[in-house]
């Protein structure tokens, strides 16, 4: 029995760390590429002369404004994510526990799903026309609003799932203590779905950050985001692997920082003892 358990543990561990390796190795390779010359990347050399030229070209060349692009991405993605999660969580609680008219729930979730299943590319043209006609092309507002609406379906569905997991007894207890709907939401439900919110926020942030097809059309030179900037390295007849790698490394830093930071908030067994 013990040997079986032990063997099982070893197998499980190797699986986990094996998978971790499969993830890490290509990423380390990309990071190393950011310090190599293109010919060394093309010939697949593991060890090659070290060079800063990719970062120089990325940060200081005449046509690039990468740090500005990073800032744009941070601003746009953060605002969009915060807004989406708040909107979705509020709406989720109401839809799930406050018994709105049936048609409201079906319309909202149904329409969101319908919208989510259609390809984004087909909407970009319409959005461009809409925003240009009110003179908002190339503004933060245009990008942020579009990102909010694009990620709203995912956020809604996730928050609905997480909110449904909050036991009804807790809500009832809050009502008995004299809370109205709004108070119940902010003081009772909100802290309990925090773990889910963090997870959903992480995903939404990543989606917002990585968006290319909308950003390329709706942003101008001043509001250009990181994915568009990195895409300039995938050119008509050359992919500038070195600069692309450098851009990726810089682009990963905010996201990794958030992950390390955000882990503090995901606490195990949040609901334990809550019913009591």
Partner 1 sequence: MSNSIGMKSGNSQSGKRNTEKANRQWLWISIAPAVIFLAALTIFPIFNLIGLSVHAVEWEGGKAVYDYVGMRNFKDLFAQDPVFWVGVKNTIVFAVCAVTFQMLLGFSMALAVSRAGQVGRGILTTIFLLPIVLPPIVIGAMWRLLMGRDFGALNGIVTSLGFAPVDWLGNPSLALASVIFVDVWHWTPFVFLLILAGLESLDQEVFEAAKLDVKGFWQELKFITLPLMMPTIIITMVLRIILSFKVFDEIYLLTSGGPGTATEVVNFTIYRVFFGQDRVGAGSAMSIVTLVGLVLLITFSQVIMRRFRKGASV
Partner 2 sequence: MKHETLKKSVRTTAFIAASIAALAVPAYADGDQPDISIVINQSPWLDSFISVVDRYEEETGNKIELDVTPFGGLLEKIRNSVRADVGTYDIVNVNALWLTEIYAGGFLSPLTDIRDGYTLAEGVLDYGATTHWNHETNSFDTSADLMGIPLNGNVQVLYYRSDLYEEAGLSAPTTWDELAANAAALHEPPSTYGFVPRAARNAVVYNFTPYLYSQGGSVFEDPASGNFNVTINSPEALTALETYLHLTSEVAPENPGAIAQGELIQLLATGKAAQAIAVIGAWGNLENPDKSAVVGLINAALIPSGPGGSASAAGHWVGGIPNNISDERQEAAMAFLDWFVSQDVQIGYVEAGGVPIRGDLAETSIGSDDRFRFIEAYGQNAANAVMALPLKEGAQVSDALALRLNQAVIGEISATDALNAMAADTLKILTDAGYEVTSLSDL
Reported residue count of the chain is 276
Site residues (CB under 8 A) for partner 2, limited to 203-222: 216-217, 220-221
Of 52-60, 61-69, 124-132, the segment contacting partner 1 by CB under 8 A is 124-132
Helix boundaries (H) for the chain: 2-33, 38-42, 53-60, 66-97, 102-117, 121-133, 140-164, 168-176, 181-183, 190-192, 194-210, 215-218, 226-231, 241-262
174 neighbors 163 (Cβ within 8 angstroms): no
Interface map 26-65 toward partner 1 (x if CB under 8 A): xx-xx----------xxxx---------------------
Site residues (CB under 8 A) for partner 1, limited to 76-115: 86-88, 90-91, 93-100, 104, 108, 111-112, 114-115
Q: What is the CB neighbour count within 10 angstroms for residue 2?
A: 6
Residue 48 found at the interface with partner 2 (CB under 8 A): no
Nearer to partner 2, 13 or 220 (CB): 220
Nearer to partner 1, 76 or 156 (CB): 156
Q: How far is the CB of 77 from partner 2 (least distance, A)?
A: 14
Q: How far is the CB of 51 from partner 2 (least distance, A)?
A: 8
198 neighbors 262 (Cβ within 8 angstroms): yes
Which residues, 6+ apart, have CB-to-CB distance to 216 below 8 Å? 228, 231
Which residues, 6+ apart, have CB-to-CB distance to 238 below 8 Å? none
What CA–CA distance (Å, rounded) separates 113 from 23? 31
Of 48-56, 57-65, 209-217, the segment contacting partner 1 by CB under 8 A is 209-217
Residue 263 found at the interface with partner 1 (CB under 8 A): yes
**Interface with partner 2 by CB under 8 A: which residues?**
37-39, 42-43, 51, 53, 62-63, 79, 82-83, 86, 124-125, 128, 132, 135-141, 144, 216-217, 220-221, 228, 231-239
């Amino acid at each position: 029995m013990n040997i079986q358990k032990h063997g099982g543990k070893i197998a499980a561990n190797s699986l986990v760390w094996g998978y971790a390796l499969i993830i890490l190795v290509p990423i380390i390779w990309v990071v190393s590429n950011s310090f190599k010359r293109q010919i060394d990347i093309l010939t697949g050399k593991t060890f090659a002369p070290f060079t800063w030229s990719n970062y120089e070209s990325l940060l200081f060349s005449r046509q690039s404004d990468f740090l500005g692009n990073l800032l744009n991405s941070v601003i746009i993605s953060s605002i969009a994510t915060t807004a989406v999660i708040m909107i979705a969580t509020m709406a989720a609680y109401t839809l799930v526990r406050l018994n709105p008219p049936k048609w409201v729930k079906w319309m909202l979730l149904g329409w969101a799903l319908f919208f989510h299943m259609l390809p984004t590319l087909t909407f970009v043209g319409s959005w461009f026309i809409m925003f240009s006609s009110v003179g908002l092309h190339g503004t933060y507002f245009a990008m942020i609003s579009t990102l909010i609406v694009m990620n709203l379906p995912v956020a809604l569905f996730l928050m609905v799932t997480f909110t449904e997991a909050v036991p009804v007894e807790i809500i009832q207890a809050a009502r008995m203590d004299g809370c109205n709907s709004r108070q119940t939401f902010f003081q009772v439900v909100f802290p309990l779905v925090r773990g889910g919110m963090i997870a959903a926020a992480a995903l939404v942030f990543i989606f917002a950050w990585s968006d290319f097809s909308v950003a390329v059309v709706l942003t101008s030179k001043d509001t250009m985001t990181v994915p568009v900037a990195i895409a300039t390295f995938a050119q008509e007849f050359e992919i500038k692997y070195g600069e692309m790698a450098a851009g990726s490394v810089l682009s990963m830093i905010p996201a990794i920082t958030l992950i390390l930071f955000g882990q503090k908030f995901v606490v195990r067994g949040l609901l334990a003892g809550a019913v009591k």
